[in-house]
């Protein structure tokens, strides 16, 4: 695994260097002061590993390095002549993930390649971003991955635009929405939704109705015999401020048949993801009038109201009455309630209208292996990173940042390249290109022929491994399959006639040829795969 990891790192280095980036290496241990300057000592939340030194000063183990790189550049760069600049490192990151899982996929210590670009202006950033985007396409293609670059949310990193590189896989945690009729492709977190056309019916007077025990949308729609599209769903939250005892209640309203997109809600509120949790209904009820299962927008007080934009045009809906076992019919926006924030809060679902062209969208799952961000001035402004232009005037540096999950990429390659017997490495990242297996290690003829083939491969620059262990043949074959080495040359009984078995890991069949022919075929095949 480590050999494959080093090969992935090698591919990344080649493509980053070719794109004009320079490699440096920074400390994983970072002082709190830099994060306080950017505001992320608070905003990053519980995912950050925090620690103190012997003098009680705060530090963290870096989850990412925007602050550190901005700090170097504000000290080292003073003139426009030093820009553009792109610095990267391949380094260990630490994140106290809520749900670490699937081995290397989501771990609390992992290797990331992180790059940071520094430009004079937004056009410069556009170019740096495009260059990195192109380099990422090359990296993931060379790693043998089938992937898609899709629009993404900027999350805890921030900035104005972002793309995620997603290796397609049914076991992936990322869900992407895409359209076959146009270029739309985005993570579902990010994907915009189209509001349904406004209703044309006229507004009817509100009417309170008894709806015993109907706490869910399904129950109330069934009880009142209305379409779920004619109901309003309430979701109740408690949002914490930066000071520990500071908080407010938030109610989000969407149409009954829709689902809430938490990322959109968090972005609308302008808060970090860790600052929000589902409200305790009793506690919230006392403060705001909300009633578990029967909360609607008309009866609330002391609570921030966030309304999905689609509700504006929908008429005569059923909503909770903020009274146990009661709902209100014919609730209409503006006349009966207003939102403090009105925005798209919906989760895009398969078959929904594409936000660009209106065709039904499709969904796929994948593993997020990399992400690129246009940061703009988020860090240069908060941390004071300026350069002097031709007129000796101070200007903010325009930044971008670009991450690849190196260890996660390793795992993603295995997810895409395996069968029931184990891994099938693409040649570019295989730990060894070829394995020479001796069937009976005690047999002198077999050993001599295997050694000769092994030497021939080595001489040609093939990374070969010789399995001369004193194990049963079945064990050796099984291990070779699990390890996934692309070419296997098996030296057995027919060694006496000079014959060996030549087999590719990805194919079931083998051919019987001379030892020399096998070596020559392996050398040619490996070279052609590596030059692909």
399 binds ligand ATP (CB under 6 A): no
State how far the Cα of 94 lies from the Cα of 89, in Å rounded to an integer. Answer: 15
Stretch that binds ligand ATP, among 3-11, 253-261, 366-374, 473-481 (CB under 6 A): 366-374
What angle, rounded to 10 degrees, do the helices at 2-18 and 406-416 form?
110
Q: How far is the CB of 17 from ligand ATP (least distance, A)?
A: 20
Query: Hey, how many other C-beta atoms are within 10 angstroms of the C-beta on 201?
Result: 9
Cα 94–100–104 angle (5° rounding)?
Answer: 75
- 249 contributes a contact to ligand ATP by CB under 6 A: no
- CA–CA–CA angle 145, 371, 274 (5° rounding): 125
- Please report whether residue 371 would count as binding ligand ATP according to CB under 6 A: yes
- What is the token pair recorded at 117? 């670009």
- Binding of ligand ATP at residue 484 (CB under 6 A)? no
Number of residues that bind ligand ATP (CB under 6 A): 17
Which residue lies nearest ligand ATP, judged by its C-beta? 405
Nearer to ligand ATP, 320 or 405 (CB): 405
Which one among 368, 439, 450, 466 touches ligand ATP, defined by CB under 6 A?
Answer: 368
> Contact between 294 and ligand ATP (CB under 6 A)?
no
Asked whether position 163 contacts ligand ATP by CB under 6 A, the answer is no
User: Residues 102 to 141: which contact ligand ATP by CB under 6 A?
Assistant: 106-107, 110, 112
Q: Does 408 bind ligand ATP (CB under 6 A)?
A: yes
Of the pair 37, 96, the CB lying nearest ligand ATP is at: 96
Nearer to ligand ATP, 63 or 320 (CB): 63
Q: Does 155 bind ligand ATP (CB under 6 A)?
A: yes
The residue (of 171 and 357) whose beta carbon lies closer to ligand ATP is 171
What is the distance in angstroms between the CA of the first residue and the CA of the last residue of the chain?
A: 23
Comparing CB distances to ligand ATP, the nearer of 155 and 473 is 155
Q: Give start and end residues of each alpha helix (H) in 50-94.
A: 66-76
Task: Report the distance separating Cα 235 and Cα 295, nearest Å.
Answer: 9
407 binds ligand ATP (CB under 6 A): yes
Nearest alpha-carbon partner for 43 in 293, 338, 276 = 276
Question: How far apart are the C-alpha atoms of 226 and 220, rounded to whole Å?
Answer: 8
| Rounded Cα gap, residues 11 and 204, in angstroms | 65
Residue 97 interacts with ligand ATP (CB under 6 A): yes or no:
yes
Minimum Å gap between C-beta 369 and ligand ATP is: 5
Is 64 a residue that touches ligand ATP (CB under 6 A)?
yes
- Counting contacts by CB under 6 A, is residue 403 touching ligand ATP? yes
Stretch of 280-288, 301-309, 364-372, 386-394 lying at the interface with ligand ATP (CB under 6 A): 364-372
Report d(CA 513, CA 516) in Å as an integer.
Answer: 8
Q: Among the residues of 150-303, which ranges form H helices?
A: 217-224, 262-269, 281-288
Q: Is residue 172 near ligand ATP by the rule CB under 6 A?
A: no
Q: Which stretch binds ligand ATP (CB under 6 A): 22-30, 248-256, 291-299, 402-410?
A: 402-410
Residue 513 contacts residue 499 (beta carbons within 8 Å): yes
Minimum separation from the CB atom of position 416 to ligand ATP (A): 15
CB atoms closer than 10 angstroms to residue 323:
16
Q: How many CA atoms lie within 13 A of 255 on its CB side?
A: 26
Nearer to ligand ATP, 369 or 414 (CB): 369
By the rule CB under 6 A, 410 interacts with ligand ATP: no
Rounded CA-CA distance 130/63 in Å is: 25
Query: Which residue of 40, 74, 95, 488 would you call a contact of ligand ATP, by CB under 6 A?
Result: 95
| Cα–Cα distance for residue pair 414/423, rounded to 1 Å | 6
- Can you state the angle between helices 2-18 and 122-142, rounded to 10 degrees? 140
Angstrom distance (rounded) from CA 172 to CA 188: 13
Q: How far is the CB of 501 from ligand ATP (least distance, A)?
A: 39
Smallest gap from Cβ 177 to ligand ATP, in A, equals 16
Sites of contact with ligand ATP (CB under 6 A) = 64, 95, 97, 106-107, 110, 112, 155, 157, 368-371, 403, 405, 407-408
């Amino acid at each position: 695994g480590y050999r494959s990891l080093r090969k992935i790192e090698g591919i990344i280095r080649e493509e980053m260097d070719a794109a004009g980036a320079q490699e440096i290496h920074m400390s994983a241990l970072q002082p709190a002061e830099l994060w306080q300057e950017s505001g992320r000592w608070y905003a990053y939340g519980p995912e950050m590993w925090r620690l103190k030194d012997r003098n009680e000063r705060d530090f963290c183990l870096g989850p990412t390095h925007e602050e550190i790189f901005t700090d170097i550049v504000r000290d080292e760069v003073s003139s426009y002549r030093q820009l553009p600049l792109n610095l990267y490192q391949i380094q260990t990151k630490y994140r106290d993930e809520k749900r670490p899982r699937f081995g290397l996929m989501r771990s609390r210590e992992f290797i990331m390649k992180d790059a940071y670009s520094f430009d004079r202006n937004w056009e410069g950033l556009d170019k740096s971003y495009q260059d990195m985007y192109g380099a990422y396409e090359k990296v993931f293609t060379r790693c043998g991955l089938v992937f898609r670059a899709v629009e993404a949310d900027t999350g805890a990193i921030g900035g104005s635009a972002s793309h995620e590189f997603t290796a397609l896989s049914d076991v992936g945690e990322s869900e992407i929405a895409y359209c076959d009729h146009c270029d739309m492709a985005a993570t579902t977190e990010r994907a915009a939704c189209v509001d349904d056309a406004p209703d044309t019916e006229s507004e009817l007077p509100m009417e309170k109705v008894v709806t015993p025990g109907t706490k869910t949308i399904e129950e109330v729609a069934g009880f009142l015999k209305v379409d779920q599209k004619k109901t309003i769903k309430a979701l109740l939250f408690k949002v914490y401020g930066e000071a520990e005892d500071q908080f407010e209640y938030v109610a989000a309203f969407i149409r009954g048949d829709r689902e809430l997109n938490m990322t959109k809600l968090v972005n609308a509120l302008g808060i970090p993801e860790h600052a929000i949790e589902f409200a305790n209904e009793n506690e919230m009820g006392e403060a705001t009038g909300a009633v578990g299962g029967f909360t609607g927008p008309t009866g609330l007080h002391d609570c921030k109201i966030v309304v999905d934009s689609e509700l504006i045009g929908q008429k005569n809906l059923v909503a909770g009455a903020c009274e146990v076992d009661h709902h209100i019919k014919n609730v209409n926006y503006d006349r009966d309630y207003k939102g403090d924030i009105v925005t798209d809060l919906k989760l895009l679902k398969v078959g929904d209208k594409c936000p660009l062209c209106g065709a039904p969208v499709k969904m796929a799952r994948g593993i997020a292996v990399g992400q690129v961000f246009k940061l703009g001035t988020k860090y240069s402004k908060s941390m004071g990173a300026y350069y002097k232009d031709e007129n000796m005037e101070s200007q903010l540096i325009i930044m971008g940042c670009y991450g690849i999950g190196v260890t996660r990429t390793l795992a993603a390659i295995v997810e895409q390249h395996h069968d029931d017997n184990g891994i099938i490495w693409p040649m570019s990242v295989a730990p060894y290109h070829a394995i020479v297996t001796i069937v009976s290690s005690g047999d002198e003829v077999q050993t001599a022929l295997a050694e000769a083939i092994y030497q021939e491969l080595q001489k040609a620059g093939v990374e070969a491994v010789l399995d001369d262990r004193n194990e049963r043949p079945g064990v050796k074959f099984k291990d070779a399959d699990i390890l996934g080495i692309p070419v296997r040359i098996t030296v057995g009984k027919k060694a006496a006639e000079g014959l060996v078995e030549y087999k590719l890991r990805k194919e079931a069949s083998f051919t019987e040829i001379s030892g020399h022919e096998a070596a020559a075929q392996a050398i040619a095949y490996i070279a052609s795969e590596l030059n692909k």
